[in-house]
Amino acid sequence: MGLHRLTHSSIGKPTVNGMLKTNKLTGVALVTLTAALSITSVSAGMVWGSSQSQAKTSSVNLKLAQIANFIPKSKQPLEQLIEVAKYFKIPMGIEWNPKAAICNTCELSLGNSPTVKDLIDAILLESPSHQISVNHEMVHIAPALLASDPKNILNLKIDEFDSERESLFDAEERLRLYIDMKRYPEKYANGYFQSFGYAPDHVFAIKNVSFSGTFLTVREILDGIAEADGNALWIVELDEKDLSFEKAAEAARQAVPRYIAALPWKFVPLSSVQPNK
CA atoms within 13 A on the CB side of 206: 18
- Residue 86, pLDDT > 50, answer yes
Long-range CB contacts (< 8 A, 24+ apart) of 177-181? 177/33, 177/35, 177/260, 178/35, 178/37, 179/37, 179/153, 179/218, 179/263, 180/260, 180/261, 181/26, 181/35, 181/37
pLDDT in tens, 36-57: 333 233 333 444 333 444 444 4
| DSSP-based three-state secondary structure for 216 | strand
d(CA 212, CA 50): 11
d(CA 194, CA 259): 10
Residue type, 263: L
d(CA 228, CA 135): 14
d(CA 122, CA 119): 5
Q: Which of 25, 42, 27, 242 is nearest to 157 (CA)?
A: 42
Residues 6+ apart with CB under 8 A from 252: 259, 261, 262
Q: What is the pLDDT of residue 261?
A: 59
Instruction: Name which residue leads in pLDDT, 97 or 29.
Output: 97
d(CA 176, CA 263): 7
- Residue 229, pLDDT > 60, answer yes
Residues in a beta bridge with 233: 268
Q: In angstroms, what is the C-alpha Rg of the chain?
A: 19
Residues in a beta bridge with 217: 157
Q: How many angstroms from the chain centroid is the CA of residue 218? A: 7
- Residue 3, pLDDT > 50, answer no
Per the confidence metrics, is the pTM higher than 0.75?
yes
Alpha carbon dihedral 201, 202, 203, 209, in 10-degree steps, equals -90
Instruction: Name which residue leads in pLDDT, 17 or 215.
Output: 215
d(CA 83, CA 141): 14
Map out the domains of the chain as residue ranges. Answer: 3-51+155-231
pLDDT in tens, 111-137: 889 999 999 999 999 999 999 999 888
Instruction: Name which residue leads in pLDDT, 275 or 200.
Output: 200
DSSP label at residue 151: T
Q: Which of 140, 135, 144 is nearest to 97 (CA)?
A: 144
Q: What is the pLDDT of residue 94?
A: 98
Q: What is the pLDDT of residue 258?
A: 54
Indicate the helix (H) or strand (E) that contains 183. helix 168-183
Q: How far apart are the first and last CA of the chain?
A: 28
| Contact call for residues 252 and 262 (beta carbons, < 8 A) | yes
